[in-house]
């Protein structure tokens, strides 16, 4: 992994969260994946695992948002189709045990749980805002754009879970087809 030690550790933590969640993520795994020395943990993350996890979830949230703002906004359908195409490979990784690093921090039940849930809520809100902005630029009202954006993020996060359980993309494909059909009924010109 390119970049400095701290950046490599955050990226390794993102990958560990995606594979095993917070409870299954270990410093040993992060150190091995990042090539960092053991002393790097508390040098870069004096708050320990909670700080590393929060930063990894925040980074992953920001990275996803950066991709969402690039979606073409020529029509609502274009936004939705582009979103579905962009997230399909991510959801496909769920079929072999992958997951969402941001969602992983929502199920922490310790003294850091509230902070981590706020981190996740902020990331999800930023994704919804980015999608809603694209949908508004594509012609939807602000309210409709926000509703559809929230639905798309719920589809994404639900698909991670359903596809992981089924070891199949079928749940995502069903939800994607239904979303496009409903969109065509609601916005036949878009």
pLDDT in tens, 171-187: 999 999 999 999 999 98
Q: What would the two tokens of residue 138 be? A: 């594509």
pLDDT tens digits for range 24-82: 888 888 988 999 888 888 889 898 888 999 999 999 999 999 999 999 999 999 999 99
Name the residue among 60, 59, 65 with its Cα closest to residue 130: 65
Rounded-to-integer distance, Cα 109 and Cα 78, Å: 39
Looking at domain 57-186, does it have CATH number 1.10.150.20?
A: no
Residue 3's pLDDT is 56
Sequence-distant (6+) residues with CB within 8 A of 66 are none
What b/e string do you get for 9-32 counting C-beta neighbours within 10 Å, with b at 16 or more? Answer: bbbbbbbbbbbebbeebebebbbe
- Could you tell me the two tokens for 89? 């490979």
Give the pLDDT band of residue 1 (cuts 50, 70, 90): very low
Rounding to the nearest 10 degrees, give the CA dihedral for residues 113, 119, 121, 125.
180
User: In this structure, is the dihedral angle defined by the CA atoms of residues 177, 182, 185 and 190, taken in order, positive or negative?
Assistant: negative
Confidence at 90, pLDDT banded by 50, 70, 90: very high
Local confidence band at 133 (pLDDT 50, 70, 90 cut-offs):
very high
pLDDT band per the 50, 70, 90 thresholds, residue 2: very low
Residue 126 scores a pLDDT above 90: yes
DSSP state of 41: H
């Amino acid at each position: 992994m390119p970049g400095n030690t701290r950046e490599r550790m955050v990226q390794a933590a993102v990958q560990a969260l995606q594979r095993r969640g917070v409870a299954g993520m270990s410093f040993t795994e992060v150190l091995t994946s990042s090539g960092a020395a053991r002393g790097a943990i508390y040098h870069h993350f004096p708050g320990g695992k909670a700080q590393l996890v929060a930063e990894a979830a925040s980074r992953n949230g920001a990275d996803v948002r950066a991709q969402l703002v690039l979606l073409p906004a020529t029509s609502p359908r274009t936004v939705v189709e582009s979103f579905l195409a962009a997230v399909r490979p991510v959801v496909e990784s769920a079929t072999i045990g992958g997951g969402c690093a941001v969602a992983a921090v929502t199920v922490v039940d310790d003294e850091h749980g509230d902070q981590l849930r706020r981190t996740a809520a902020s990331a999800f809100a930023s994704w919804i805002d980015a999608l809603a902005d694209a949908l508004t630029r594509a012609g939807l009202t602000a309210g409709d754009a926000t509703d559809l954006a929230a639905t798309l993020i719920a589809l994404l996060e639900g698909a991670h879970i359903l596809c992981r359980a089924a070891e199949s993309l079928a749940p995502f494909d069903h939800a994607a087809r239904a979303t496009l059909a409903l969109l065509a009924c609601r916005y036949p010109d878009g």
